[in-house]
Structure 1
C-alpha cells in the first residue's frame, strides 16, 4: 500500500466539507489500485496471533467480514472471562483489537465458540459459557463492547446463525445424533425447541456447525466427535432448504490429519475472502491439553473450492502458502482526498471523512451525482459497495451502486430508497432500460446504518445481494467490462470500502497454487486460455458446462463436472504447491469406453511419469481410478501438465498422496515378549501373552509407510466368540476417540480397508471414519481356533484368503479404491489374539503373476 498524508477532518455541514476540500487542494493524491498479480507475503498454518490466550491459543475460530475488513473471534480460556477479537484486511496479517466483551461480564467465563453476525446496524454475539447453554450479546461495533441481551436460552453449545435471502434467520447448534436447528423470529429470539438435521451426524456427538448458501444450495459444515481426539475432523452436507434433509458430501471428510504434529482439526467457520470470490475455511488444530485448563489450539485458514455442488478444501495445509489474493481494485478511502482513481459524473459535493469513507451531501437538487472508477473490470467480475444514508432531501431520494458502467447510457444500478423501503435494480443498455425492479426490504430497515451491496456478473447475468441476501437477478446484453461506482440522487450518503475483482462464482481458485498432497478437480485447470492453461482440439466447449472457454466440460455422474471428450494431444495445466520434494502417487479419476488410453505427466516441462497406460473402463459412466505411482516432484510452486498421449477419456479429478520408494516389508512373531519397533501406531490395550498379541476389547496397531500401495499382509488370527477382528491395510489417518482412549469409536477411526473374521465368516469393508461393507463370505468358524488370514492388494483388486492360500475366499475390485497406506491389526469388541504378522512385496508379486499366467 502507498503511504498517505493523514490530516484530521471533522464531519459536518456542507460548508465544513467544502472547506476540508479546499484545505487539501494541494495534498498529493495516491493510488489505491492493487492488482491481484501483486506479490504478497506468504502464510503458514498453524498461525500464532498476538495476544492469544496463554496455553489455550485460538480455538473454535469464527470470522466476520464488515466493511471490507475481517474480524476474528475465538473461545475464551476456561478459567478466564471476556472475549478477544482480532482484525485483518487480508486474512494473513492480524491486529489484536482487545477484549470485545469485558472480562467483568461473568457469563463469558469460558465463553465457547463466540460467533457474531451483523444485522441492520447491530452486531449480535452468540456464545455458550463453558458449554452451559447460550447467551446473546450485542454491540454497535464489531470490536465491542458487547453487552448481554438475554438470559440463558439453552440449546447445548456451538450456536451459529444463518440469514436466508428472505431475511429468515436460523440457529444451528451441537447435538448427540447430528446438528440441531431451529428457526428464529429475530436475532434475539429462537422459535421452538429445534430438531436434528438429517444427514449431519458423525456417528456420535456432532458440533461446530456453520451454514451458508451458494448458487441456491445450502452448505452445512460440522465437526466431530471430540476436541481431544486426533481424529477431530470437518465434514459437509448439502440441502435445498435450511431445515431440510441434508446429503453428506461424497468426499468427506474435507479436513482431516491425524499423524505427526498437525492433528485434531476442526470446528470451522467459512467466509468469502479478500478477493470477494474465494471461500476460506478457518479451523483449529490441537497442540494438546493445556497444563492450566482446556485444550491448547492454533488457528488455520485454507481456501475452499467448488465443482458444481461439491465442496472441497484446498488443504489442510501446514507448509508455506501464498497469502489470499486481494481484489483487482479496492479503495478503503484511507486518505484525505478522493484522488485520481475516481471520475466525477455531474458534480455534487464530494469529499473524504476521517480517512475512512467518501461522502456526497448535496441533497437540494434532483440530480444524479456519481463517482466511477478509472479502473475497468473484466467482462465477468464481482463487486462490493458499502454505504449508508445520512439524510434524504425528499421522498425520491436514492443512493447506491453503479456497475458495468460504460457511460450514462450503459450501466447497471442497485439503489436504496429509504422512503419506499426498497432496493431498486436496473440495467440500461444503449439508453434502453431492462426495467426497474423494486424489491421490498424488511420492516424497520435502518438506512442510516452500514449496508453492503454485492454484484456478481457472469456472462449476461447480474446477481445482486444486499447484506449477503440474494435480492435480484437481472439479465442484460453487456458482454464487455466496465467501471464501478457509487451514486446519489437528492440524498446525503456515505460510502465505505468499495472494490471489484475479476473473479466470480469461485473462479479465484483456478490459477492459484494448489497444495500437494491434495485433490484438484479436473475443471480447476489454469487460466490463460488455449496454449497456456490448456490445449483443446475443438473450438467450442462440447458439453457447455462450468467454464466458458473451449475445454469440453460435462456433468459428471459422480457429482459436479468433469472434462470430457479428452483426445490424443490435448493437455491441461495445474499450478501446484508441493509440500516437500519426493515421490507422490497421482490418482486419476477417469472413465472411457472399451479402448485403453495412455497419459503422461510433466512438471515444469520435465516428464515425471513416462507414458502410462490406463485400462478401459467399459463405459463413459463407469468411473475408475488409475494410479500413477511415485511421481518425483520438487518442493514449492510448479506447474503440472496432464497430457493425453493416446486414446480418449473423461476425467474428473487428480488426487496427489505421499508416495515412497521403500518396498513393503515388516513382520512380528511376538516371540520376544514385546512388540517389534516396526509398529508405529497403536491404540488399544494389546499385550504379549504366550508369543501372541492379545486383546479383550477395541483397538488397532499399524506398521509400515503411508506410501505403500501393492503388498500382501497376513497374520494368524484367533476367531473370537463375540465381536470381530482381523487385518487392516492401506490405512491413513488413524486416530483414537476422545482423550485418546480405546472405545467402540476408536476402532473405526481410520481411513483404509478391513478384512476380519467372526464366528459367522469373513467380511471385507472400507473405513472412512464410518463403515462401508464391500464383500463377505458366510462360513462357520470355530471360536478360539486360529486361522491364517491373508490380504493381497494389486491396484483396485483385493483378494482375501482364509487358510486356503490358493483360492481366495473374497475376490473384490473396488471401483473407488484407497490406493496406499500402512497395514496392521484391528479388534472390535472381541477377546482374541494374533500371531506371525507379516507384510511383504514378494508374496503380492508372486500371487499376481500366478493370477496372470493361469487362466
Structure 2
C-alpha cells in the first residue's frame, strides 16, 4: 500500500485586508442550511442586485444590494406570492421602467413577475409559461428578447414577442451531453457568449463551459477549446457552477458570479456565493479562478457619483446655466425649458485618452422646440471641443455629435426601439479607444463613430427638456484593459499582452519604435494576433522586458510553463521579482516557426505570497511570447503498491466496482471505472503497472496528469470522461493514448495484438508536454506524443481506469 503523507494546513486568524474578498462568501440573511444557490446579479443605476434560489420549504425571493459586488446589504423579500414557493433560479431584467423576474417554482414551469423597483414587490403577471428550469433572458441590440432554459443534454432557446410572452423552444446546439442548465448569454464585440453548467448540482464535477456564436443569439454556437472555463473537484471549493456574468464597478471588468457546493443541507444543497475576474485575450474568455484565498476587491471607477447628498457640490461645474438641483439624495435634475440652449454640468476631473463612461437618465417633460433632448457629453475640454450622445423622445432616436476645434461635425442618428419609454430610466454607455467611440443604450450597441478628440471631462446636458440624471461614472479602461493592472492570481495563467500600464521604463522596456504588430494596445509593446487566436508579444529583442502584477496564493515553489515560439536558436529569458532573479536563465529552443507554439518549463521557482510585480526579461535572442501558467510544485516520491496487504488505502475510487482480490486490484464495469492516487502538483514522472484484461471488449490502462476527477455516472450522469488528464490504454487490438477534459480526444494509436487473461507491463513516462507509452518492451515506446495544444496538462495524479471491461492491475509504481 502507498504510504500517505498528511499535511496540516494552518489557517491564519489574522483578518483579511480591508480591500480583499475571499471565496466562498457568506451574506447576511441567507436561506438557513440552504445558503445562496444559483446567484443572479442585475446592475441598475450603479447598484447591483443579487437574487438566489428559494429554499424548497419557503415562499418568496430574497434580494441583496451592493455598490461594489463585495459588501452586500439584505433588502428583504422582493416577492412573496405563493407562486414563488421554492422558486428556482430567479433572474431579473430591466426594460422600459419595469423589472421582470423569471423563475421556475420547484421546477414546475416558468412564471413572470414584474415590479417598478429591483427590490420589489414583484407581482405575478403571467400564468405558467412552461419550459424547464433555469430561465435566462437576453436582450439583443435591436431590442429583441430571447429566453433560454435547461434541457436534457443541452440548452434550449425561444424567441420572445414581449417580456412576458415566450415562443416555441428549439435546441441551441449547446450542451454537455448530460443534464445541462444555468445558461447566461451576453454579447461582446459583436459575438454572443453563452456560459452554461453541466451535470447534477450535487456533483463535485459541476462546472462551467462557454460557447460562442457569430450568427445570432439562439444558434450557431461553437464550444471553446479551453472548456471547462471554471472547475474544481478537490480542495476548498468544489461543485462550481450556475453562474452570472456581470460588469464590475470599474465599468470594464467582467466578473463571473457562481455558487459552490458545501454538501447537503437540511433541505437541498448547501451553497455559497463566489466571484472571480474574467479577462480577455482577443475574443477568448478566461476566468481567473477558481480562487479561494484573498483577492483584491473589484476596482471602483476613477469618478462616480450617486448624487446621494443634498447639494451638487464642487465635483461638478455648470456650463450655460439652467436650473439644477438634487432630489431626495438620489438624482440630479435640470428643469429649465423654453430654450435651445445646452445646459450642462461637467465633472471637475478629466478622463484619460481612453475610457469608458456611464450615464443614467430619464425625461420628466419636454418642450415644444424643434428638437428637445437630453443626454451625455464626454471628451469635454471646453465649448469648442467635446462630443455628445443625446436621446430625442420627439424623433425616437439616439443623436450623436462632435465639435472639434470649434468646428461642428456632422450629426449621426440611430433609431431606438419603437416601444422605448423615454420617461423611464435609461443608460448610455460610451467606450472610447483611440479615435473610436462606441455607443450603447441600455446595453444595446447602437453605433460606432470616429473623431479626433482625446481626454476630457464627462457630463450631462439638456435642451428644452426637464430631465433627471442618476449614477454617472467614468474609468480609464476600455474593452478589457483593466486586466493590465489587475493582480492576476497565482496559481493561474497570465496572458503575455496583459503587462502593466505605465509606459516605457515603468511597465516595459521595448527597443523598437511603436507597436510593430499594430494590434491590441497602443503603447510600444509589439503585439500580433497568432494562429491560436490570441494576441502575443512578438519581435522580443535582447534586453527587452515586461512587468506583470500578480497575487501569489502562498509562499512556496511553483512550476512555470512559458508558451513560446521562435524560428531562431539561442533565445533566453528569465523572471525577476524586484532585484531577485527567480528563475535564472531559461533557454528557449527553436520551436520550428513563429506560429509553432510550445511550452517551455521552468520547475521549482520560489515565489513569495501576496501582491507582487514580476518582470519577464528577454536575455538574448528573439522569441514570441503568448502566456505563462503557474502551478504549485510538489516533489514526486518513489512509491509502489502491489496490493498484497489486501486493501487500496490511498487510492480514491470513482465509478465502477473496485476490489482487491488475491493481491490484485480489480475493476469491473459496464461503463467507466477509475481510481486515482497522488498529488495534483506532481509534474514529471514515470508510472508503471501490470495490466490484465479479463474481458475481450472495452479497454483498460493507466491515467497520468490527472486533475479535477469526479464521479461521471452518479445521479443519472453518463460522462465517461469526468477528469482532466491523459489515458494510455490497451485493447485486444492495440495500445492508444487519449486526452480527457470532460470530453474525449484520441491522440495516437498503435495497432498490436493483445490477449485476455494475460499480464502486460505498461509504462508511461511524462516529461513536460511529452508522453511516452511502453508495453512490455521498456526501451522502445509504442507511442511517443507531444501535446503542443493550447491547453496541455503538465501536472496531476496517476490512476488506473477501465471502460466496459473487467481489468486487473498489479505492481503499480511511480518514480520521479
Same fold (TM over 0.5): yes
State the SS of the aligned residue for 2:804: strand
Look up the match of 1:690: 662
State the SS of the aligned residue for 1:508: helix
Task: Kindly state the Cα deviation for residue 431 of structure 1 after the two structures are TM-superposed.
Answer: 2.4
Query: Hey, what's the Cα distance between the residues in 2 that align with 1:717 and 1:434?
Result: 77
Look up the match of 2:141: 165
Bigger Cα displacement from structure 2, 534-543 vs 430-439: 430-439
Look up the match of 2:799: 824
Matches within 5 A, 1:244-283: 244-283=219-258
Look up the match of 1:42: 20
Where structure 2 has 5 or more consecutive residues not aligned to the other structure, the ranges are 1-16
Task: Kindly state the Cα deviation for residue 805 of structure 1 after the two structures are TM-superposed.
Answer: 1.7
Bigger Cα displacement from structure 2, 579-588 vs 431-440: 431-440
1:619–1:606 Cα change, 3 Å: same
Matches within 5 A, 1:126-525: 126-192=102-168, 194-198=169-173, 200-240=174-214, 241-290=216-265, 292-395=266-369, 396-478=371-453, 480-525=454-499
Task: Kindly state the Cα deviation for residue 664 of structure 1 after the two structures are TM-superposed.
Answer: 3.5
Please identify runs of 4+ aligned residues in structure 1 that moved more than 6 A: none
Look up the match of 1:12: none
Which residue of 761, 771, 786 maps to 1:798? 771
1:535 and 2:516 matched: no
Task: Kindly state the Cα deviation for residue 531 of structure 1 after the two structures are TM-superposed.
Answer: 1.1
Task: Kindly state the Cα deviation for residue 830 of structure 1 after the two structures are TM-superposed.
Answer: 1.5
1:52 and 2:30 matched: yes
Kindly indicate whether the alpha-carbon contact (under 8 Å) linking 1:177 and 1:196 is maintained by their aligned counterparts in 2: no
Query: Hey, what's the Cα distance between the residues in 2 that align with 1:681 and 1:540?
Result: 56
Which residue of 704, 708, 715 maps to 1:733? 708
TM-score (norm 2): 0.95
Kindly indicate whether the alpha-carbon contact (under 8 Å) linking 1:388 and 1:494 is maintained by their aligned counterparts in 2: yes
Query: Hey, what's the Cα distance between the residues in 2 that align with 1:513 and 1:191?
Result: 44
Kindly indicate whether the alpha-carbon contact (under 8 Å) linking 1:425 and 1:437 is maintained by their aligned counterparts in 2: yes
Task: Kindly state the Cα deviation for residue 49 of structure 1 after the two structures are TM-superposed.
Answer: 0.4
Task: Kindly state the Cα deviation for residue 535 of structure 1 after the two structures are TM-superposed.
Answer: 1.1
Task: Kindly state the Cα deviation for residue 86 of structure 1 after the two structures are TM-superposed.
Answer: 0.4
1:761–1:498 Cα change, 3 Å: same
Query: Hey, what's the Cα distance between the residues in 1 that align with 2:379 and 2:445?
Result: 19
Task: Kindly state the Cα deviation for residue 80 of structure 1 after the two structures are TM-superposed.
Answer: 1.4
Aligned residues, how many? 793
C-alpha distance after superposition, 1:318-353 (max 9, x if no partner): 100111000100111111011011111111111100
C-alpha distance after superposition, 1:172-215 (max 9, x if no partner): 111223221122111111222x22223x2212221111111111
Which residue of 568, 580, 584 maps to 2:542? 568
State the SS of the aligned residue for 2:234: coil
1:766 and 2:716 matched: no
Query: Hey, what's the Cα distance between the residues in 2 that align with 1:572 and 1:483?
Result: 31
C-alpha distance after superposition, 1:502-525 (max 9, x if no partner): 111111111011100111111111
Aligned-residue RMSD, C-alpha: 1.5
Query: Hey, what's the Cα distance between the residues in 1 that align with 2:497 and 2:180?
Result: 32
C-alpha distance after superposition, 1:336-383 (max 9, x if no partner): 011011111111111100000011111133322111111111111111
Look up the match of 2:808: 833
1:354–1:306 Cα change, 3 Å: same
1:82 and 2:60 matched: yes
Look up the match of 1:651: 625
Look up the match of 2:518: 544
State the SS of the aligned residue for 1:277: coil
Look up the match of 1:675: 648
Kindly indicate whether the alpha-carbon contact (under 8 Å) linking 2:178 and 2:718 is maintained by their aligned counterparts in 1: no
1:94 and 2:72 matched: yes
1:738–1:692 Cα change, 3 Å: closer
Query: Hey, what's the Cα distance between the residues in 2 that align with 1:238 and 1:788?
Result: 44
TM-score (norm 1): 0.91
Look up the match of 1:125: 101
